Chain A
Amino acid sequence: MRMRAYQLLPLCFLLLNSCNDLQLNNPYSEDEGKHTVLYQSFSERPKHLDPAAAYSENEYAFIAQIYEPLFQYHYLKRPYQLTPLTASKMPEIIYLDRSGKVLSENAPEQDIAYTDYVLNIQPNVHFQPHPALAKNAQGQYIYHQLSLEQIQASQTLNDFKEVGTRELTVEDYVHQIKRLAHPKIQSPIAEIMKNYIVGFDDFAKQVADKPKTEIKALSIAGVEIISQYQYKIRIKGKYPQFIFWLSMPFFAPMPWEADVFYEQPGLADKNITLDWYPIGTGPYLLAENNPNRRMILQKNPNFHVENYPTEGEEGDQKKGLLEDAGKQLPLIDKVVFMLEKETIPYWTKFLQGYYDASGIASDSFDQAIQFTGSGGVALTDSMKQKGIQLQTSVETSDFYMGFNMLDATVGGDSEKARKLRQAISIAVDYEEFISIFRNGRGLVAQGVIPPGIYGHADGEAGVNSYSFTWQDNKAQRKKITEAQQLMIEAGYPNGIDPATKEALILNFDTASVSVDDRPMMNWYRKQFEKLGIKLVIRATDYNRFQEKMRTGNEQIFVWGWNADYPDPENFFFLLYGPNSKVKFGGENAVNYQSAEFDKFFEKMRNMDNTPERYQIIQQMQEVVRHDAPWIFGFHPKSFSLFHSWYGNLKPNLMANNRLKYTKLDVLTRLEKRKAWNQPVIFPLTIGILMICSVATFIIYRRKKVVIK
């Protein structure tokens, strides 16, 4: 029976109607949305997943969920504090003199020649299932001597079907320390550790021309295995910050089998390397690694028992952050990271519910955030209607403007240069900068130490009195007339350089060369114009800029630092003389040198957090405020959005392994996604109707012609 066109119409409408129940724009499989799967995105593929080499935030987003160092930051408690992760307890710290005699806990620093960290790990912690650990019935490793055919037949790690596991021992931690020393691994902290771990440098030289597989048999003088669950690291002198390093993925355990497996010739040609396929003991394992498309973390079936914290800060109970207290972690089964390079699709997918969390790009800031009358921030009504949650936190970072202290005009210890720097510090209005260029996402810095780090002082006590005054219960930038007075005292009345009788010319060195950066550069220029100074923008490519910084050919620049660990030493070392960039290649980018500051620093860095340390920190802040090698700039404030189904939210800027605490209300997500993503069918309906009408008209015309 032949079907006529008009008879197809009801079928079309039926089909179109059925589309109403579908989510045609769902980028995932229909089935996936019902499981506890967290959807996140990444914009740049990580360079390294080897914990010995990785050091970036985007790399830690993955490896901190897979690898487990000995210690971790407590998820809820503030100030940040370390707790055991795979360690069974906090380390036993023993001070020794040169002869190896044990000293008391309160021994003077100069007497301490060595410090021993005695570390204990938990029993019954196992590695994730992995082919490197797979054994046959005879107890031999299946994949440690791969044939050419086996390698040729494999494209990814998943092609090795047999997997195995074994218990974590301290040998795995020791093996990782050896890996940190191996020059071929190129660990970014190898040079630092040479200064601390006894025998580290000698070991590095010893293994320089040896393959990674041979380091197992060799030993480092300062690292000793005491038993299966206990080992000891000996460091030179006293270095209390060492424990923070021990809580970073650099010191996560690595089974020697991993090196033996991955070092087999031919696997690297398939990109099957330890740098791309991790092997850890953490809550998740990397189930899919396609950094060009997506990376999937799956719950590790061998994950040891770890429970959600049972205590936190005051108020955490009220916020519902202890609802899951005592529950076995992790709380979600799978995390899917999708590569999303552009902000428009990323933001749209978040609004459609296909990403569970999102940052706020400047394009979408006004759509998401509004400022309240009191200067606070709140979500816009459209965000509130969707039940989206806003989380803000001041980052433990400094974003400062630096003066090259080696420069003849702005640098040096003279009163003239100091007053010039102090005047500029008043003139450069970072409150305005934050408002214009960061949508209010920042906190004007009053010193070196950001909030959340020991030594940061709030309120009047923490004000930089050289640039601000405390008025109406808040820090007020000093008037520009005071800066102009300082310019007169510096010998530059109205910004006129007496040597040239013209406006003082200063150079701002930057790697910001794009058209988008011009408004910001103009803004800097205007700030200096307030003092009559002519600011010349010297924009170069990044390589040349770095070269200028290394050789001290810059004058004024902006720079930043993000904390490695929550200790003031990690910020003040940026101004310590022996860390000068030009002389010693260190992180003191302004090449600041102050005997007074250095003396304080040397005393403070190895102290425990006592009131005495706090006092020294305040004195150091005062020295730096007075000398003004930095204009303190601001501490960035991060704004993150989360859907209503996202639970256990608490900002923790130190912990990178936060995913295991996250919970999801999957049913709510399913309902909301469905409600938000109903396809709009009527344009299709109209289109079909029009086509049918035209077709009917043509058929009618033809028939009419035939009848005639």
Chain B
Amino acid sequence: MIQYIIRRFLYAIPLLIGVNILTFVLFFVVNSPDDMARMQLGQKRVTEQAISNWKQQHGYNIPLLWNSEAQDQEKVTKTIFYQKSVGLFLFNFGVSDSGRNIGADIQERMWPSLALALPTLVVGLVVDVSFALMMVLFRNSYIERTGLVICVVLLSISSLFYIIGGQFLFAKVLKWVPISGYDDGFSAFKFLILPVLIGVFSGSGSGVRWYRTLFLEEVEKDYVRTARAKGLTETQVLFKHVLPNALIPILTGVVVILPLLFMGSLIMESFFSIPGLGSYTLDAINSQDFAIVRSMVFLGSVLYVFGLLLTDISYTLVDPRVRLS
């Protein structure tokens, strides 16, 4: 398995270089170093000299991808792309164009993102699986049909509606929780309860339907019929046989997104003033902060590759038939 993991890591290197080149090209098609300087220096009294100084200070006064005036390997190394990319592969994200250390910012902001995303995922999973099992238990009855209609309604509504509606009902009308904010430690509970519940509720339509499909596929199989023939109750069949066997696709979906939980949720964090990573990339794009954009895209790619690897490994744990080679 170790060989497999090493091989996957080696495969990831050209992939990450590709992602980095793509980000670089896309960013600089839209923004020039002069535009970036103007954005950082503000609107008033920006002179050409000030722009030139800014570019020199931030290392944007050299060619983008190819330095024809340099000698030998410096033709490649003395370029913005090389200078800004090498550190990434050592997870040294450097300093943002506005002067803040990106690594320190990510470290600080990922915890609130995780504090929101992890309970949402866990509670959501429990709720979705429970309701999906219930619908399977009462399949072909009015309970299942009503459940399906509710699921379709839930997944048809924008998550923004749940957020605004939830804030209006629970924070404004009923006044049970603060409408927005965040605190450290256990004090964060009162701020997180509403966004977590909204996150669970808004995702439950699609979640329940997806898990129901997985369970229905399993309940038709021969081993389930055998279990019933042994005299087990339907509940026992579902919990002891169907659920463990349906775990593999559930695990695939969950493990792959686990590392990405750090990256936060833009809308949720913005509406609930949670100081996470959700808006970090978008704010950076708006302020033309290339240093942050490339770091976050790179980090996202690394986490995604890592998530896929974790999924593969987790297969071997839940299904003894799977071997990594």
Contacts and interface: CB of A to CB of B under 8 A. Distances in A.
B100 A345 contact: no
Contact of B35 (A188, A269, A349, A543): A543
Contacts of A338: 181, 273
A275 B99 CA distance: 8
B167 interface: yes
Contacts of A188: 41-42, 44-46, 50
Contacts of B177: 24-25
B171 A25 contact: yes
B273 A339 contact: yes
B45 A587 contact: yes
B31 interface: yes
B217 interface: no
B99 A55 contact: no
Interface stretch (A372-380, A387-395, A673-681): A673-681
Contacts of B271: 341-342, 344-345
Contact of A191 (B35, B45, B100): B45
A349 B180 contact: yes
B41 A270 contact: no
A25 B57 CA distance: 47
Secondary structure at the A interface, as helix, strand, loop or mixed, is loop
A322 B108 CA distance: 45
Interface string A648-687: 0000000000000000000000000000011110010000
A179 to B, nearest CB: 14
A183 B38 CA distance: 16
Contact of A678 (B109, B175, B272): B175
B164 interface: yes
A27 B249 CA distance: 40
Nearest to A55: B42
Of A23, A340, A345, A349, which is in contact with the most chain B CB atoms at under 10 Å from its CB? A345
Contacts of A270: 101, 104
A186 B54 contact: yes
A543 B42 contact: no
A183 B167 CA distance: 48
Contacts of B178: 25-27, 354
Interface in B271-325: 271-273, 275, 279, 288
Given A269-B104, A273-B99, A190 B176 contact: no
B45 A189 contact: yes
B59 interface: no
Given A192-B45, A268-B101, A293 B172 contact: no
Interface residues of A, number: 50
B191 interface: yes
B218 interface: no
B175 A677 contact: yes
B42 A56 contact: yes
B172 to A, nearest CB: 5
Interface in B3-55: 30-32, 35, 38, 40-42, 44-50, 53-54
B275 A680 contact: no
Interface in A251-300: 268-271, 273, 275-276, 290, 292-293
A269 B45 contact: no
Nearest to A541: B30
Contact of B173 (A24, A184, A345, A680): A680
A25 B167 contact: no
A189 B44 CA distance: 9
Contacts of A268: 95, 101
Interface string A221-243: 00000000000000000000000
A64 B167 CA distance: 35
B179 interface: yes
Contact of A341 (B30, B41, B164, B270): B270
B31 A543 contact: yes
Nearest to A546: B38
Interface string A30-50: 000000000000000001100
A340 B50 contact: no
A241 B271 CA distance: 44
B105 interface: yes
Given A341-B273, A344-B167, A585-B47, A271 B175 contact: no
A245 to B, nearest CB: 12
A668 B35 CA distance: 50
B90 interface: no
Nearest to B109: A292
A619 interface: no
B175 A25 contact: yes
B103 interface: yes
B162 interface: no
B61 interface: no
Contact of B98 (A47, A541, A683): A47
Interface string B127-142: 0000000000000000
B44 to A, nearest CB: 6
Contacts of B229: none
A593 to B, nearest CB: 20
Contacts of B105: 271, 292
Nearest to A24: B176
26 contacts: A24-B177, A24-B190, A25-B179, A29-B187, A47-B98, A48-B99, A55-B44, A188-B41, A191-B45, A191-B49, A191-B50, A268-B95, A271-B105, A293-B182, A338-B273, A339-B275, A342-B180, A344-B271, A345-B180, A345-B273, A348-B172, A543-B35, A543-B38, A564-B44, A587-B44, A680-B176
In order of increasing CB-CB distance, the 3 nearest A-B pairs are A292-B275, A293-B275, A345-B180
